[in-house]
Amino acid sequence: MNTFIFSRGRTQTIKRHLVFWVACFLFAVFSYPPHGAFGPGNGIDVDGVTRYYEMVLIRSLFHFLCQMLFCYPLLYFLVPVYLWKRRYLRFAGMLLLLLAITSFLRFVLFVFIYNPVMRALKFYVNSLDQIAKNSIIQNFEGPAFVGFLFISLKLFKDWQQKQNDNLDLRKENANAELLLLKAQIHPHFLFNTLNNIYFFTLDGSPQAKNMVKMLEDILHYMIEECEQPLVPLDKEIAILRDYFELERIRYGNSIDMQFEVAGDYRGKVISPLLMIPFVENSFKHGASRILRDPWIKLFIQADDDLIHFSLTNSKPAEEMPNDKRGIGLYNVKKRLELLYPAEHLLVIESTMNTFTVNMQIPIQSFGYER
């Protein structure tokens, strides 16, 4: 139905107009009074139901042809050329001219086509004087209602189409912003991890090869698979495990790391790269700067339609000068506002010795499109 109403294709437009005019035509036919509608001798009680409505159908058809002659020039020429451009005097003058032209065409149509048809079928017809009078009067009565209805529906459709276009534009802008934010996450993560590998290669450890391989897998996931709006939740969690493992290799036993996942997270999907920026920051700005007993605790709880992310890390009692959390936290906040404007929960708490992130976001099962 939405496609039928708002499609701009020629075929759908023709179908819409046909539906409108047929509906108006049927309404006019069945709303005619059953007695004495068109002069003496016309009525169901005189002509019978079949013959009476034969006359009504013919008469209604001619009236609606005249109304079409009025409505289309009004809607597709006078309104956009004069009314919307606030040329009101010209609009009024052109409207009067249109009424005069359509009154004349109505008179010609009824005299030279309608009357011969009705006489051939032995129906009552008006005199030329009455037809001339009706051509003026009925040109104001019929088109006044049908034209108003026709224009109202057209204006409503155009307004609704503009609303839809604005919504599509907002979605496109939001998608473009999401792509930009994800593109910013990639180098941020890359530089941090390469820095980790660099420190490890200084000792000439063979573990550097394993770290490079893990980094390759992570980057392949982030660059290739994360282009999709939704990714498997188990892969997102696997990336977090790999990141923890890279940091574990780098720091050894100098940092106490805890990573726990609860619930059934298989067969679920989530928007990508919403959790790893917090993990990056917990290492870069927190535990790695503490010389004595640093620690990081990550807990993820997967429910049927929600995932709970809780990350707490130790941090220096005093912030270092110009210590900034980078673009990671800003990106996640911004993406959460775009992706889940009224469905997410994000609480960040910073005390003298700890930094805590609690996040709750929706998840869906495979095959579900957001």
Q: Does the domain formed by 171-365 have CATH 3.30.565.10?
A: yes
Going by C-alpha positions, the residue among 325, 207, 342, 231 that lies closest to residue 277 is 325
Record the pTM.
0.52
Q: What is the pLDDT of residue 362?
A: 93
Q: What is the pLDDT of residue 178?
A: 58
pLDDT higher than threshold 60 for residue 136: yes
How many DSSP H helices and E strands does the chain contain?
Answer: 11, 8
Domain extents in the chain: 2-166, 171-365
Q: Which two tokens stand for residue 171?
A: 């979605």
pLDDT higher than threshold 60 for residue 364: yes
Could you count the other beta carbons within 10 Å of the beta carbon of residue 238? 14
Q: How far apart are CA 370 and CA 363, in angstroms?
A: 10
| % of the chain at pLDDT higher than 90 | 15
pLDDT higher than threshold 80 for residue 105: yes
Going by C-alpha positions, the residue among 297, 295, 329 that lies closest to residue 314 is 295
Q: How far apart are CA 79 and CA 91, in angstroms?
A: 8
Helix (H, G, I), strand (E, B) or coil at 108: helix
pLDDT tens profile 181-194: 565 555 656 776 78
pLDDT tens profile 299-356: 999 998 999 999 999 887 666 544 555 556 777 888 888 788 889 999 999 888 889 9
Task: Please state the three-class secondary structure of 131-163 as a single string.
Answer: HHHHHHHHHHHHHHHHHHHHHHHHHHHHHHHHH
Query: pLDDT class for 90, splitting at 50, 70, 90?
Result: very high
Per-residue pLDDT averaged across 85-114, rounded?
88
Distant-in-sequence, close-in-space partners of 70: CB < 8 Å, separation ≥ 6: 98, 99, 102, 139, 143, 147
Q: What is the DSSP letter of 39?
A: S
pLDDT tens profile 197-252: 787 777 777 777 788 888 888 878 877 887 788 889 999 999 899 888 888 877 77
**Cα distances (angstroms) measured from residue 245 to each of 43, 215, 238:** 92, 11, 10
